[in-house]
Structure 1
C-alpha cells in the first residue's frame, strides 16, 4: 500500500469515526462470541444504568491507540495518541505510518496532514448521536437519548450501542471497559469495513490542556473549508 493510500485510508476511517459514519460492532474474537452467546444479558434498563455510571466517571482520558481496519481482504494499521475531555473535546493523532491530526472542540473539526501541508475545516454537530467517537467526552443522558444500549453479558463491562435514528450512517458501536477504563472499541461501518481500536497507557480524569483541542494551521498550509 502506498503512503498516499495509507493517508487516504486514515482520513476516511477517522472521519467516519469522528462524524459517525463508523460504528463499533460486537466483534472481538471468536472465543468472545461463544462466551457472549451463552451469557445472560442485562436488561436494557440495567445496561443503560451501568454504562452511564462508567461514562459519568470519565471526565477526561488520554491514551495511545493501535487501530486495525479490515476491508475487502485488506488490512491497514495505524498507531498514535488520543485525548478526550468534556464537553465534547477530541484529539486523534496518527504517528504511523503517516502523520495526521484530527481535532474537534464540539463545533469545529480540523483534519491536518503534515506531509501534504493541507488542513480541512468542517463544522461538527454537538450531538453525540452524530459523533460516536466523542462518546467518552459527551453527556451520558444524551447518549441514552440517541442510542439503544445493551450489555450482552451482565457480568462483563462490554456494551453495544445501536443508534435510534433510522437515518444513522452506522449500525452499532461496542465498547469494553476494564477497571473502569475503556480499553477497546470495535467499529463496523456500512461500507463493509471493520475497525478495531485498542487503548494503552490510559490516564483517566487528569487535567488536559485546552491547547490539545485547538488547532491553528501552520503558515503555508492549504486550508480547505467544507
Structure 2
C-alpha cells in the first residue's frame, strides 16, 4: 500500500502542519493571520517535535503518533514518524518521497503534484492568497487561531486551523475529506536552525519497492 500526499495520516502533518510551528516573526499582539503571514515570509528554516492525534469521524477511535519535522525554504522538508507506525516523508525541492519501512515500500511524485492547497503548501512557502482564504478566529486559552480554507475543490480538506501562542505556532487542526479530525501539537521548536542538506535527500534502501505516481492526464 502506498501513501500519496496528502494521505489519511499525513493530511495533518505533512507538512505544513509542522511547519507552522514557529511563528516567531509574528508581533506579540498580532492576530493569527498576521502571525501566519509573518512566519511564511520570515522563517526560512527550522525543526520541531510533534504529537499528532487522529480521531475517527464518529469520535470512537483515536490514534496518537509522535515524530519530528525539519524544513528549509524553498520546498524542502522532512517528517519522521516514530512508533507505532514508522514513516518518512521527504521533499527535496523537486519530488516528494513517502517511505514505509515496515512495508518496504516507497512512493514518489513530482513536487507540484504533491503540494497545492495542502498544509504542506504552507510549509513550502507557497502563495497563501492564491491557494487559501485566511480568516482570523477568536483567541481561546491564550491561543490565537486562523482558519485557512482552500480556494479550489479537491484539496481533500474540510477545515484547516492554525493556532499561535505568543510568537510561536502551537497547534494545527485538520478535518480531512473523510471527516477525520487530526490535531498536531508542537514542542522543542528551533526557528531558522541550520539543517544539514542531506536531511532533504532520500535514497530508497536496497530491496524497497518504489512506485512513481503520475499526474492524471487531462481530458
Query: What band does the TM-score fall into relative to the shorter chain?
Result: 0.7 to 0.9
Q: Which residue of 176, 179, 182 maps to 1:189?
A: 176
Q: Which residue of 52, 71, 82 maps to 1:67?
A: 52
Query: CA 1:147–1:16 in structure 2 vs 1: closer, same or farther (change >3 Å)?
Result: same
Q: TM-score, normalised by structure 1?
A: 0.74
CA distance in 1, matches of 2:14, 2:123: 12
Aligned to 2:22: none
1:127-146 pair list within 5 angstroms: 129-139=116-126, 142-146=127-131
Runs of 4+ deviating beyond 6 Å: none
Secondary structure, counterpart of 2:130 in structure 1: helix
Aligned to 2:146: 159
Give CA-to-partner distance per residue, 1:63-118, whole Å, 9 cap, x none: 11111000132111111111122102121111111221111123311111122222
Query: CA 1:163–1:109 in structure 2 vs 1: closer, same or farther (change >3 Å)?
Result: same
- Provide structure 2 residue ranges, at least 5 long, that are not aligned to the other structure: 18-29, 214-219
1:34-45 pair list within 5 angstroms: none
Q: TM-score, normalised by structure 2?
A: 0.77
**Residue 148 of structure 1 pairs with residue 133 of structure 2:** yes
CA contact (8 A) 1:169 1:190 kept: yes
Q: How many residues align?
A: 194
**Residue 213 of structure 1 pairs with residue 200 of structure 2:** yes
Query: CA 1:138–1:206 in structure 2 vs 1: closer, same or farther (change >3 Å)?
Result: same
Q: CA deviation at 1:19?
A: 8.6
CA contact (8 A) 1:86 1:137 kept: yes
Structure with bigger gyration radius: 1
